[in-house]
Amino acid sequence: MKKVSREFNIRGIKDLEQLKKVTNEFNIDYPVSEDVSILAEPVKLASGKVIPNSMGIHPLEGFDGTEEGAPSEYVFRRYERYARGGAGLIWYESISICEEGRCNPLQMIIKKETVPELKRLVDRSNAAAVEEFGRRPYNVLQLTHSGRRSVDKNWKSTPLAITENPYMDDHTSMDGQKGELQIATDEQIELIIQQFIDGAVLAAEAGFDSVDVKVCHEYILRELLSAFTRPGKFGGSFENRTRALFDIIHGIRKKLGNSIDICVRLNAYDCIPYPYGWGMVKEEGVMKPDLEEPIKLCRMLVEEGVDLINLSTMMPRYSPYGTGLLAEHNDEDIRPFTGVYNLLKATRDIKAAVPGGVFMCTGLTWLDRFGANVGAGGKKEGWWDIAGFGRQGFAYPDFARDILEKGKLDRNKVCITCDKCYDLIQIGHTRTGCVARDHEVYLPMYRQYVQNK
């Protein structure tokens, strides 16, 4: 496993002045604001719906649905905690559009049979928020097909890829297995497009405000964006590589009109060189982002009426580290604070080039309690509209309430980015959550499934 080499000790930094001084030594210049009250501002979307404040929780899969794909009690608990915590936007974790597209045997599946329980999940979480704040959050459901990261009921890797990819083919599941790669036919891609559309219809029945057509990390629609080497209607040109995404968006609009919003979680760049990565300079082997195509795509998405774009990069564990996935293939350590800065800057540059777009940023959990100040600073300076927090949601579900009521994050409650939530899945093959801050539930699992392994 790659070594994460932190450029500095963020927990030892006293205040914003020192943060500026220390980060500047690494050519990092995060936008910061002492006053975080801007994060209380509501955000109005193109659909007319309003997100009640400017803080969102990213999708974070707990790997803890039922075998049939419905939410379990762990899932109900997680979303109720989020709702009581005050974030204006809850981006529900990835849910598979079909049995074969799961990335773990307990990933939820959107199908007729799971809709009643999903509806109960949204209703319960909304009711909890209303009880606490007199209003409910804006709820997005992330639809996905895991593609080359798919596994069967026994965690055996069953990769369905769009192209061969020398940077990714040696590990086809998140626990590092190498399964036998199957390249999807155009007909299989067409079926997947239909399953996304059907999933959106079911998400509307379950009561979500919005669906996310997931085009990020290592999953299938992201892989289509980088299908430079694929022949046929889904590969090669920009138009072909984005065809599936727009077919899904048009299909959802045709079935549902404007009755459900559409959001997209998108990789700003892949951290995998051309011709195997998206958003990278078009020179083979060169590890440098080029935002021309991501900007073009975001402009088109906004023209299509996509309400919100959440920018990320590559696989969660390596996202948004500096050297990204490529770090697995060279000798460099992973440098998280530089990586976060690169991704936040890309968010700024994309937003600046896409008038009318509403954007959410990724990476703030790395910044410890200063995530609130950078979230607010970025919004103030126009880098993004919504400050997005991932693992902070597991560790500190009421982070938004503290930002709203106390004007800051609590040092003793923030995520310490120890990566144990990921160890629970990757090593333990079990459910996940915060081992350090939610230890009554997750420390026993960590001991049983990770330490005793």
What DSSP element (H or E) covers 343? helix 336-353
Closest Cα partner for 161 from 175, 150, 176? 150
Is residue 312 part of the contact set for ligand FMN (CB under 6 A)? yes
Is residue 367 part of the contact set for ligand FMN (CB under 6 A)? no
Is residue 429 part of the contact set for ligand FMN (CB under 6 A)? no
Cβ nearer to ligand FMN, comparing 319 with 373: 319
State the nearest-atom distance from the C-beta of 56 to ligand FMN, in Å.
Answer: 10
Is residue 141 part of the contact set for ligand FMN (CB under 6 A)? no
State the nearest-atom distance from the C-beta of 114 to ligand FMN, in Å.
Answer: 16
Is residue 421 part of the contact set for ligand FMN (CB under 6 A)? yes
Is residue 101 part of the contact set for ligand FMN (CB under 6 A)? no
Cβ nearer to ligand FMN, comparing 281 with 445: 445
Is residue 172 part of the contact set for ligand FMN (CB under 6 A)? no
How many of the chain's residues bind ligand FMN (CB under 6 A)? 25
State the nearest-atom distance from the C-beta of 87 to ligand FMN, in Å.
Answer: 12
Cα–Cα distance between 83 and 78 in angstroms, integer? 9
State the nearest-atom distance from the C-beta of 366 to ligand FMN, in Å.
Answer: 5
Cα–Cα distance between 179 and 173 in angstroms, integer? 8
Applying CB under 6 A, among 196, 228, 276, 366 the residue interacting with ligand FMN is 366
Applying CB under 6 A, among 30, 58, 210, 442 the residue interacting with ligand FMN is 58
**Residue 126 in contact with residue 88, Cβ under 8 Å?**
no
Cβ nearer to ligand FMN, comparing 235 with 390: 390
State the nearest-atom distance from the C-beta of 310 to ligand FMN, in Å.
Answer: 8
Name every residue whose Cβ is closer than 8 Å to that of residue 70 and which is 6 or more positions away in sequence. 108, 113, 114, 117, 118
Is residue 391 part of the contact set for ligand FMN (CB under 6 A)? yes
Is residue 313 part of the contact set for ligand FMN (CB under 6 A)? no
Q: What are phi and psi of 306, to 5 degrees?
A: -65, 130
Cβ nearer to ligand FMN, comparing 173 with 365: 365
Identify the DSSP state of 185. P
State the nearest-atom distance from the C-beta of 291 to ligand FMN, in Å.
Answer: 19
**Residue 46 in contact with residue 305, Cβ under 8 Å?**
yes
345-369: b (≥16 Cβ within 10 Å) or e: bbbbbbbeebeebbbbbbbbbbbbb
Beta strands (DSSP E) in 33-107 are 43-44, 50-51, 55-57, 89-96
**Residue 234 in contact with residue 191, Cβ under 8 Å?**
no
Is residue 96 part of the contact set for ligand FMN (CB under 6 A)? no
Cα–Cα distance between 309 and 249 in angstroms, integer? 14
Cβ nearer to ligand FMN, comparing 235 with 307: 307
Closest Cα partner for 322 from 4, 80, 1? 4
**Residue 189 in contact with residue 224, Cβ under 8 Å?**
yes
Cα–Cα distance between 95 and 70 in angstroms, integer? 10
SS3 for 411-436, per residue?
CCCCCCCCCHHHHHHHCCCCCCCCCC
Cα–Cα distance between 110 and 198 in angstroms, integer? 9
Residue with structure tokens 């060169």?
A: 286
Cα–Cα distance between 274 and 411 in angstroms, integer? 41
State the nearest-atom distance from the C-beta of 57 to ligand FMN, in Å.
Answer: 9
Is residue 363 part of the contact set for ligand FMN (CB under 6 A)? yes
Is residue 422 part of the contact set for ligand FMN (CB under 6 A)? yes
Sort strands 308-312 and 261-267 into parallel, antiparallel or unpaired: parallel
State the nearest-atom distance from the C-beta of 282 to ligand FMN, in Å.
Answer: 26
Cβ nearer to ligand FMN, comparing 179 with 428: 428
Applying CB under 6 A, among 365, 386, 399, 435 the residue interacting with ligand FMN is 365
Positions in 250-309 near ligand FMN (CB under 6 A): 265
Is residue 93 part of the contact set for ligand FMN (CB under 6 A)? yes
Locate 252 and state its tokens.
């959802």
Applying CB under 6 A, among 53, 104, 142, 146 the residue interacting with ligand FMN is 142
State the nearest-atom distance from the C-beta of 62 to ligand FMN, in Å.
Answer: 7
Closest Cα partner for 3 from 359, 328, 452? 328
**Residue 85 in contact with residue 398, Cβ under 8 Å?**
yes
Cα–Cα distance between 236 and 93 in angstroms, integer? 31
Is residue 210 part of the contact set for ligand FMN (CB under 6 A)? no
Is residue 71 part of the contact set for ligand FMN (CB under 6 A)? no
Is residue 362 part of the contact set for ligand FMN (CB under 6 A)? yes
Closest residue to ligand FMN, Cβ-based? 390
Is residue 396 part of the contact set for ligand FMN (CB under 6 A)? no
Applying CB under 6 A, which residues contact ligand FMN?
58-61, 93-94, 142, 216-217, 265, 312, 316, 319, 362-366, 389-392, 421-422, 432
